[in-house]
Amino acid sequence: MPLPDPMTRHPIPGWKGTAFLKAIVDHPLVEVGDYSYYDDSRGPEHFLARCVRYHFDFIGDRLIIGKFVAIAQAAQFVMNGANHPMGGFSTFPFGMIGCEEAPPMTPERLALRGDMVIGNDVWIGREAVIMPGVTIGDGAIIGTRAQVARDVPPYAVVVGNPGRVVKLRFAPEVIAALLDIRWWDWAPEKIARNLALIAGADIDALRAAV
């Protein structure tokens, strides 16, 4: 059976609480890979409004989400617009509310951390919080309500507040092989033919399918 069209709005038959993000996200500063989805019983079409916080066009930071990312309800992607100037006596953002006398809201004053990058085949649990500028590696799992303020290695499992890596999902040599294979970049037809291997745990068999 082939994979569905990645532009399918609701890929789960009979359930409108899950949507492929490519079908519902239209924002010049948000990049989404094929088959990544958001699940929200309140309506996944509100992903940008409910989940992507403080994302101001004038700052210009990007949210980049890879392929086959699973995002649970109320996960929060906190962008650089949440930052306030901290080098002076007051942290109040006078410049953002139109005070002409205020020093300009420059990247240096806001201590911007750059783009937020979510790798491929990442699972983000319910109400997890990803802080500005964080990169989450391919294959990582972010636990429910984890608060992630630091980069996450590929295939790491992160839980807690502050978020911490509690384990790697596989041995280092298996992780290296998976990052080399990059099954998520295969053609959809090839992925569909090899789903048993992708969902399995035999790295030699998956490597042979390359």
Walk along the chain (210 residues) and give the pLDDT tens digit of each residue: 799 999 999 999 999 999 999 999 999 999 999 999 999 999 999 999 999 999 999 889 999 999 999 999 999 999 999 988 888 899 898 877 888 888 877 777 777 899 999 999 999 999 999 999 999 999 999 999 999 999 999 999 999 999 999 999 999 999 999 999 999 999 999 999 999 999 999 999 999 999
Establish if 8 belongs to a structural domain: no
In a shared domain, residues 184 and 145: no
Chain centroid offset of residue 63 CA = 8
Instruction: Give yes or no for a contact between 48 and 32, defined as CB atoms under 8 angstroms apart.
Output: no
In a shared domain, residues 114 and 193: no
In a shared domain, residues 110 and 178: no
The range of the structural domain enclosing residue 74 comes to: 18-169
What integer pLDDT is reported at residue 104 of this predicted model?
76
In a shared domain, residues 175 and 141: no
In a shared domain, residues 182 and 160: no
Establish if 148 belongs to a structural domain: yes
Q: What is the CATH number of the domain that holds 97?
A: 2.160.10.10
Q: What pairing do the DSSP bridges indicate for beta strands 18-20 and 37-39?
A: antiparallel
Number of domains in the chain: 2
- Convert 22-42 to b/e letters by CB count within 10 Å (16 or more is b): bbbbeeebbbbbbbbbbbbee
Q: Specify the pTM.
A: 0.94
Amino acid at 156: A
C-alpha dihedral sign at 92, 96, 99, 104: positive
Q: How far is Cα 207 from Cα 169, in angstroms, rounded to an integer?
A: 18
Instruction: Give yes or no for a contact between 158 and 146, defined as CB atoms under 8 angstroms apart.
Output: yes
The secondary structure of residue 65, as a DSSP letter, is: E
In a shared domain, residues 130 and 200: no
Task: Specify whether 27 is catalytic.
Answer: no
What integer pLDDT is reported at residue 157 of this predicted model?
98
In a shared domain, residues 101 and 193: no
In a shared domain, residues 126 and 62: yes
Catalytic residue among 10, 27, 46, 84: 84
Establish if 181 belongs to a structural domain: yes
Establish if 100 belongs to a structural domain: yes
User: 127, 156, 138: which is closest to 66 by C-alpha?
Assistant: 138
What integer pLDDT is reported at residue 110 of this predicted model?
77
In a shared domain, residues 63 and 129: yes
